[in-house]
Amino acid sequence: MVTELTEKIKSSLKDAAKKLTGFKKRAFMAQVTIDYFNSSPRQAETELGWSRQAIATGLKELETGIICVDNYRARGRKKTEELLPNLEADIKSLVEMYSQAYPKFPSTFAFTKISARAVREALREEKGYRDEQLPSRQTIGDILNRMGYSLKKTQKIKPLKKIPETEAIFANGATGQSSR
């Protein structure tokens, strides 16, 4: 029982499917396939442009009542720290000697007087990493930020503003007079 769908209905079905995710999307696509395409994932794919595999999975989920678990966390690129497990410790050992705390401790970040480019070079020369093995300078900067190091220029502690009595104090010192 293949029903002829108008372009307006097809557009509405596609839009509805786009707004759903995971098993809800598969269940919707499977139900539309059952209702309009004789439970044929191939016909639904041809008419609506949906993934045949997703429709087939949705049909099985409806049939068995068992929902397939999506493994979204396994997708995508892994962090460099996961790919190179010793990288974080090596960076820390290089950066520690160049670090200092913020004046007056306004945050938990530590200043580092070494740039991400210099860290990358030191990893190559001192720790034995190959150039193609290391991430880019930007990625090393991101890793340093995640580790709590700030790559901003070191801010010097600014001197206190001059108070009116300053001139008088220095004038007494220059003439050899003491206020004691």
Q: Please list the residues that pair with 150 across neighbouring strands.
A: 111
Closest Cα partner for 18 from 30, 28, 8?
Answer: 28
Structure tokens, 54: 């997703």
Are residue 145 and residue 115 in the same domain, yes or no? yes
Rounded alpha-carbon distances, angstroms, from residue 25 to 22, 98, 120, 169:
5, 53, 45, 80
> pLDDT tens digits, residue range 41-91?
999 999 999 999 999 999 999 999 999 888 877 788 888 888 888 999 999
**pTM of the predicted structure, to 2 decimals:** 0.47
What pLDDT does 24 receive? 94
Are residue 55 and residue 92 in the same domain, yes or no? no
Within 70-127, residue ranges assigned H as helices are 80-83, 87-95, 116-127
> pLDDT tens digits, residue range 13-39?
999 999 999 999 999 999 999 999 999
19 in a domain, yes or no?
yes
Are residue 137 and residue 96 in the same domain, yes or no? yes
pLDDT band at 177 (very low <50, low <70, confident <90, very high): low
36 in a domain, yes or no?
yes
Q: Which domain holds residue 43?
A: 7-64
How many separate domains does the chain show?
2
**Which of 1-5, 62-66, 144-148 shows the highest mean pLDDT?**
62-66
Are residue 87 and residue 59 in the same domain, yes or no? no
Comparing 98 with 88, the larger pLDDT belongs to 88
116 in a domain, yes or no?
yes
pLDDT surpassing 70 at residue 172 = no
What pLDDT does 145 receive? 87
